[in-house]
Structure 1
Amino acid sequence: MRGTLVLAGVLALAAVSGPPVIAAPAAAGDVTADISRNPATGIFELTVQKAGRVVLPASPLGIRTATADLTTGLRETARSTRVVNETYRMTTGKRLDRAVQHTETRISLADTGNARFDLVLRVAPDGVAYRYELQAATDVLSEASAFAIPGNASAWLMDYSPQHENQRFRTTAGGAALREYGNPSLFQIGQDFVLLTESNVDGRYAGSSLVHTGGGRYQVQLKDQRVLGARIGPWRTMIVGDLATVTESTLVDDLADPSRISDTSWIRPGKVAWSWLSEHSSPSDFERQRVYVDFAARNGWPYALVDEGWSSQWVPELTRYARAKGVDILLWYHWNSVDTADERKREFDLLQAWGVKGVKVDFMESDSQSRYQFYDAILAETAQRHLMINFHGSTIPHGLARAWPHLLTMEAVHGAEQLPQPNGNPIQPFTRNVVGSMDFTPVSLEVGPRVASIAHEIALPVVFESGWTHFADKPEAYGRFPEALRFLNQVPTVWHQTELVNGFPGESAVFARRNGDRWFVGGIALGGARTMTVPLSFLGSGSWLVETIKDGSGRSDVVRTTSVHSSADTLSVPVPENGGFAAVICPVTPGRTSCYQPIAQVPDTSLTVTPAGSVTVTPGSSFEVTGSFTNSSMRPLTDVELKPSVPAGWTVTGAPVTATVLRPNAVLNARWTITVPANVSSGGFEVPIAAEYQVPDFPRVHVARTVRGLVPLTGSAYVSDLPFDSATNGWGPVERDMSNGETGGGDGRTLTVAGTTYAKGLGVHAVSDVVISLGGTCRTFTASVGLDDETTSPGSVAFQVVGDGRVLGETGVMRTGTPAAPIAVDLASVQVLSLHVSDGGDGKNFDHADWVNAHLAC
Structure 2
Amino acid sequence: MLSSSRTSPDTPRQSLLPACLTLLLGALLALGTPAVAAHTAARDGDGWTVRQPGGRHDGVAAVVRLDAADGTVTLAARRGGTTVLEAAPVGIVTDDADLTSGLRPVSRTTRQVAERYTMTTGKQLHRTVRMTETRFSFTGRGGARLDLLVRVSDDGIAYRYVLPGSGDVTVEREASAFRLPDSARAWLAPYTPNYERVYEPSGAADAADGSYAYPALFQVGGTYALLTESDVDGRYAASRLVHEKGSGHYAVRLADPAVTSTGPLATPWRTAVIGDLATVTESTLVDDLAPASRIADTSWIRPGKVAWSWLDGFANAQRSLAVQQRFVDYAAAHGWPYALVDDGWKTTDWMPRLIEYARERGVGVLLWVHYTDLDTAAERAEFLPRVKKWGAAGLKIDFMDSDSQERFRWYDEILRDTAREKLLVNFHGATLPKGIQRTWPHVMTLEAVYGAEYGNVPATGLTTLPYTRNVVGSMDYTPMAFQFGTRTVSDAAELALSVVYESGFQNFAGSIRAYRDRPELERFLEQVPTVWDESRLLSGRPGEGAAFARRHGERWFLGGVRSGPAGTQEVPLDFLGGGRWLAETVRDGDDGLVRDRRVVTRHDTLSVPVAAHGGFAGLVCREVPGRDTCDRPVARLPLTELTVRPARTEVDAGASVDVTGRFGVEEFGPAADVALSVRAPEGWTVQGGDPRAEELPTGHDLTGDWAVSVPRDAEHGNHDLVVTAEYRSPDRPGTGVLRVERTVRVFVSPPGVDYVSNLPFAAESNGWGPVERDLSNGERDAADGGPLSIRGTEYAKGLGMHAVGEVVVELDGTHRRFAATVGVDDEVGGRGGVVFEVLADGAAVATTEVLRGTDAARHLEVDVTGVRRLTLRVTDGGDGVDFDHADWADARLLT
TM-score under structure 1 length normalisation: 0.72
CA distance in 2, matches of 1:820, 1:589: 69
Question: 1:178: how far off?
Answer: 1.6
CA contact (8 A) 1:42 1:72 kept: yes
1:487 aligns with 2:524: yes
3-state SS in 1 of match to 2:496: helix
CA contact (8 A) 1:11 1:105 kept: no
CA distance in 2, matches of 1:111, 1:703: 74
1:208 aligns with 2:243: no
Q: 1:476 to 1:24 in 2, by over 3 A?
A: same
CA contact (8 A) 2:319 2:348 kept: no
CA distance in 2, matches of 1:404, 1:511: 27
Correspondence for 2:577: 540
CA contact (8 A) 1:7 1:125 kept: no
Question: 1:601: how far off?
Answer: 2.5
1:176 aligns with 2:213: no
3-state SS in 2 of match to 1:218: strand
User: Deviations for 1:797-841, whole angstroms, at most 9, x for unmatched residues?
Assistant: 99xxxxxxxxxxxxx988238999999xxxxxxxxxxxxxxx997
Question: 1:769: how far off?
Answer: 2.2
Q: Pairwise mapping of residues 391-410 of structure 1 onto structure 2 (< 5 A)?
A: 391-410=427-446
Q: 1:445 to 1:697 in 2, by over 3 A?
A: same
Correspondence for 1:283: 318
Question: 1:423: how far off?
Answer: 2.1
Correspondence for 1:162: 193
Could you tell me which of 338, 349, 354 is aligned with 1:318?
Answer: 354
Q: Pairwise mapping of residues 645-724 of structure 1 onto structure 2 (< 5 A)?
A: none
Structure 1: runs of 5+ lacking an equivalent? 1-5, 605-632, 636-694, 707-764, 772-784, 799-811, 824-838, 850-858
CA contact (8 A) 1:529 1:576 kept: yes
CA contact (8 A) 1:548 1:581 kept: yes
- % of aligned pairs identical? 46
CA distance in 1, matches of 2:81, 2:849: 73
Correspondence for 1:599: 634
CA distance in 2, matches of 1:498, 1:291: 34
CA contact (8 A) 1:66 1:139 kept: yes
Correspondence for 1:236: 270
Deviates more, 1:40-49 or 1:556-565: 40-49
3-state SS in 1 of match to 2:196: coil
Correspondence for 2:862: none
3-state SS in 2 of match to 1:215: coil
Correspondence for 1:132: 161
What code does the residue aligned with 2:460 have? N
User: Deviations for 1:400-449, whole angstroms, at most 9, x for unmatched residues?
Assistant: 00000000000011100111232201100000000000000012323221
Q: 1:821 to 1:567 in 2, by over 3 A?
A: closer
Correspondence for 1:525: 562
CA contact (8 A) 2:874 2:886 kept: no
Question: 1:603: how far off?
Answer: 10
Correspondence for 1:421: 458
Correspondence for 2:534: 497
Correspondence for 2:607: 572
- The RMSD of aligned alpha carbons is 3.4
CA distance in 2, matches of 1:209, 1:477: 39
Q: 1:11 to 1:382 in 2, by over 3 A?
A: farther
CA contact (8 A) 2:7 2:111 kept: no
3-state SS in 2 of match to 1:540: coil
Q: 1:408 to 1:338 in 2, by over 3 A?
A: same
Question: 1:341: how far off?
Answer: 1.1
CA distance in 2, matches of 1:20, 1:580: 48
Question: 1:52: how far off?
Answer: 2.7
CA contact (8 A) 1:130 1:237 kept: yes
CA distance in 2, matches of 1:325, 1:792: 39
Question: 1:339: how far off?
Answer: 1.0
1:111 aligns with 2:140: yes
3-state SS in 2 of match to 1:593: coil
Structure ID, larger Rg: 2
Could you tell me which of 227, 245, 257 is aligned with 2:259?
Answer: 227
CA contact (8 A) 1:86 1:101 kept: yes
How many corresponding residue pairs?
A: 657
CA contact (8 A) 1:786 1:820 kept: no
Q: Pairwise mapping of residues 732-811 of structure 1 onto structure 2 (< 5 A)?
A: 767-769=790-792, 795-796=835-836
Q: 1:184 to 1:20 in 2, by over 3 A?
A: same
Question: 1:795: how far off?
Answer: 4.4
Q: Pairwise mapping of residues 291-440 of structure 1 onto structure 2 (< 5 A)?
A: 291-310=326-345, 311-419=347-455, 420-440=457-477
What code does the residue aligned with 1:585 have? V
What code does the residue aligned with 1:238 have? A
Question: 1:524: how far off?
Answer: 0.6
Question: 1:705: how far off?
Answer: 10
What code does the residue aligned with 1:589 have? V
What code does the residue aligned with 1:70 have? L
User: Deviations for 1:780-809, whole angstroms, at most 9, x for unmatched residues?
Assistant: xxxxx9989x999664599xxxxxxxxxxx
Could you tell me which of 282, 285, 297 is aligned with 1:248?
Answer: 282
Could you tell me which of 59, 70, 75 is aligned with 2:99?
Answer: 70
CA contact (8 A) 1:73 1:111 kept: yes
CA distance in 2, matches of 1:586, 1:328: 30
What code does the residue aligned with 2:177 have? A
Q: 1:127 to 1:9 in 2, by over 3 A?
A: farther
Could you tell me which of 233, 249, 252 is aligned with 1:217?
Answer: 249
Correspondence for 1:608: none
Question: 1:122: how far off?
Answer: 0.8
CA distance in 2, matches of 1:429, 1:593: 32
3-state SS in 2 of match to 1:140: strand
CA contact (8 A) 1:142 1:222 kept: yes
Question: 1:334: how far off?
Answer: 1.1
Correspondence for 2:797: none
CA distance in 2, matches of 1:602, 1:446: 25
Correspondence for 1:549: 586
Question: 1:532: how far off?
Answer: 0.8
User: Deviations for 1:513-572, whole angstroms, at most 9, x for unmatched residues?
Assistant: 00000000000101111111111010011100000111111xx42100110000011111
1:90 aligns with 2:119: yes
3-state SS in 2 of match to 1:183: coil
Correspondence for 1:99: 128
What code does the residue aligned with 1:303 have? Y
Q: 1:8 to 1:444 in 2, by over 3 A?
A: farther
Question: 1:8: how far off?
Answer: 13
Question: 1:190: how far off?
Answer: 1.2
Correspondence for 2:299: 265
User: Deviations for 1:141-167, whole angstroms, at most 9, x for unmatched residues?
Assistant: 100001110011000000011110000
User: Deviations for 1:210-254, whole angstroms, at most 9, x for unmatched residues?
Assistant: 011341100000010011226210000010100000000000000
3-state SS in 1 of match to 2:792: strand
CA distance in 1, matches of 2:605, 2:6: 33
Structure 2: runs of 5+ lacking an equivalent? 20-45, 640-668, 672-729, 741-787, 795-820, 825-829, 839-844, 860-871, 888-895
Correspondence for 1:39: 68
CA distance in 1, matches of 2:731, 2:576: 29
TM-score under structure 2 length normalisation: 0.69
CA distance in 2, matches of 1:303, 1:479: 18
What code does the residue aligned with 2:240 have? S
What code does the residue aligned with 2:251 have? Q
User: Deviations for 1:304-351, whole angstroms, at most 9, x for unmatched residues?
Assistant: 000010145011101110110011100101111111111112111111
CA distance in 2, matches of 1:107, 1:49: 19
Correspondence for 1:21: 48
3-state SS in 2 of match to 1:377: helix
CA distance in 2, matches of 1:143, 1:504: 33
Correspondence for 2:150: 121
CA distance in 2, matches of 1:148, 1:797: 61
CA distance in 1, matches of 2:533, 2:485: 32
What code does the residue aligned with 2:849 have? T
Deviates more, 1:375-384 or 1:132-141: 132-141
What code does the residue aligned with 1:395 have? T
Could you tell me which of 470, 483, 487 is aligned with 2:507?
Answer: 470
3-state SS in 2 of match to 1:447: coil
